[in-house]
A = this chain, B = another copy of it.
Amino acid sequence: MNRLGHEVLAAVLQVRSRSLQVLLWQRAREPQAGHWALPGGQLGADEDVETSVRRQLAEKVDVRHLSHVEQLAVFSGPDRVPGPRVIATAFVGLVPSDNDPVVPADTRWFSIDALPETAFDHEAIILRARDRLRNKLSYTNLGFALAPPAFTVSALREIYSAALGHRVSATNLQRVLSRRGQLTPTGQTVSPGPTGGRPAALFRFTCRDIRITDPFAVLRPPNARR
């Protein structure tokens, strides 16, 4: 049987400083020393790819910060890395924006809009991960994975704006998520800053497991009223 190397890679995304950022580490050795790479590593003998990626990520970030992990795609070009062939299963990982996990010295966050020189095919993986996130923010409750446990609508607006790459209206964001039952008020409020203003109510996501909240409006079964 033809036997091949197999690695898992993760694009770990977080909204930091109002921009969508990805966690990368700088390669110390050839090939491509100095280039920035996605965390990951070789698939172990007794683990599936999901288990493996969580194990590999533990070397870069405290896995307890990861609010969501999902498969993205296989990258399998015969020459995607130099040397012996390695197939990669790529993942998206998400970290809520209030966390600031400790990361190793060779590891940094980069805004996806200003990536450094990346290794191999990792830039393509990062962009695919970003697109996946943007799509799922629209039709699932995936916001829970980017938001802190409790938040104001303004704070949530910042997160969505950064992740989607365009302005989001706080008014309408609250209404859309509320209608879908995604937001639950905690009952608490936050006192306004020194400049005044009405105290903001704190919310949390009703459900912290991914689910489709916007079943596609078209071509739905007859008489399937929500």
Contacts and interface: CB of A to CB of B under 8 A. Distances in A.
A225 interface: no
A160 interface: yes
Interface string A139-162: 100000000000000000000100
| SS class, residues of chain A in contact with chain B | loop
Given A74-B74, A221-B166, A45 B216 contact: no
Given A169-B222, A214-B216, A78 B45 contact: yes
Nearest to A87: B6
A64 interface: no
Nearest to A46: B78
Interface of A: 1-6, 42-50, 71, 73-74, 76-78, 84-87, 89, 135, 137-139, 160, 164, 166-169, 173, 176, 214, 216-222
22 contacts: A1-B5, A1-B42, A2-B42, A2-B44, A2-B45, A3-B4, A4-B4, A4-B5, A4-B6, A45-B85, A47-B78, A48-B78, A49-B87, A71-B74, A74-B74, A135-B216, A137-B219, A138-B216, A160-B219, A167-B222, A168-B219, A169-B222
Contacts of A77: 48
